[in-house]
Amino acid sequence: MKNIYSKTKFLFLFACAFSFIITSCSKQEPWEEEVEMLAAAMKGHTDFETAKAMGYAVDATGYRMGMGHHYINVDLLDKTFEIEKPEVMLFAPDENGEMKFVAVEYGIVVDDLNNPPPAPEGFTGSEDVWDLNEEFSLWTLHVWVELDNERGIFAPMNPKIP
């Protein structure tokens, strides 16, 4: 009877330790949780025609190598970062020429490029690195929520887009 008790106790302690290790290792960073919020907000809106109907109707750049087309919702352009309301959706043509959603981009208005405000707070932590886009007078941040990017989820360019 003592042997069964010892085995049960060992298995219980092992299960607790294993559970602790798995929980500790799988804990997400706050920015990862925020990216999941963004991805959830974009679900159902990633179809090209649906996105255009939602206001992402202006192709602000044409095709850009490493990025695709930037379809902007001008009604969202302001000085506020809102996780679930990116100002731009990026689409790239697939092998059949159909536009596929690949990423979002945030665009925060900069009034004076000679004296720009600090980069937006954006996602929690320091993983997101904003770029000052002088062409459009915006702080910008790409987030590759649909197409994996070997350079990182917040990298401006994605080598998978020719």
Q: What is the pLDDT of residues 82-127, one digit of tens each?
A: 999 999 999 999 999 999 999 999 999 999 999 999 999 999 999 9
Number of structural domains found in the chain: 1
**pLDDT-based confidence at 28, cuts 50/70/90?**
confident
Q: Looking at the domain assignment, is residue 160 inside a domain?
A: no
Residue 19 lies in a domain: no
Over 70: is that where the pLDDT of 22 sits? no
Q: Domain limits at 111?
A: 30-143
Name the pLDDT band for 13 (thresholds 50, 70, 90). very low
Mean of all residue pLDDT scores within the chain = 89
pTM, two decimal places: 0.82
Q: Which residues contact 93 (CB under 8 A, 6 or more apart)?
A: 63, 68, 99, 100
